[in-house]
């Protein structure tokens, strides 16, 4: 009986996850950004592009039923402003 129940659960669980439908691209992009921010990652960009389009970076997710992908790439950090030196008369 336990074996039959296990088989039934194994068959129905994927059906329920599929029923949720494809993930919204903007929602997935914000979830990925939150995870990166939580890990302390700085100077990055996430871009949603068509699946067939070649783009710079690494694919970190797919959305829109597999029609789009989310690309991650590192960006140059903003230059830090040098500290002002006290102007001393000579």
pLDDT digits (tens, 9 = 90+) for 34-61: 999 999 999 999 999 999 988 889 999 9
- Domain-embedded: residue 66: yes
| Range of lowest pLDDT (12-16, 35-39, 62-66) | 12-16
- Domain-embedded: residue 14: no
- Domain-embedded: residue 32: yes
Q: Give the separation between CA 5 and CA 9, rounded to whole angstroms.
A: 6
Mean pLDDT of 14-41: 82
- Domain-embedded: residue 63: yes
β-strand pairing of 44-50 with 58-63:
unpaired
Residue 47's closest CA among 36, 58, 34?
Answer: 58
- Domain-embedded: residue 27: yes
* Cβ pair 69, 61 in contact under 8 A: yes
The total of structural domains in the chain comes to 1
The per-residue pLDDT for 76 is 79
Query: Residues 45, 46, 49, 53: what is their CA dihedral angle, to the nearest 10 degrees?
Result: 50
**Range of the structural domain that residue 69 is part of:** 20-74
């Amino acid at each position: 009986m336990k074996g039959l129940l296990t088989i039934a659960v194994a068959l129905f669980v994927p059906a329920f996850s599929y029923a949720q439908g494809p993930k919204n691209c903007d929602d997935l992009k914000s979830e990925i950004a939150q995870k990166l921010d939580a890990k302390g990652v700085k100077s990055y960009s996430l871009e949603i592009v068509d699946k067939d389009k070649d783009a710079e970076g690494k694919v970190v997710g797919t959305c829109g039923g597999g029609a789009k992908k989310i690309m991650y790439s590192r960006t140059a950090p903003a230059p830090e402003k040098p500290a002002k030196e006290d102007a001393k008369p000579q």
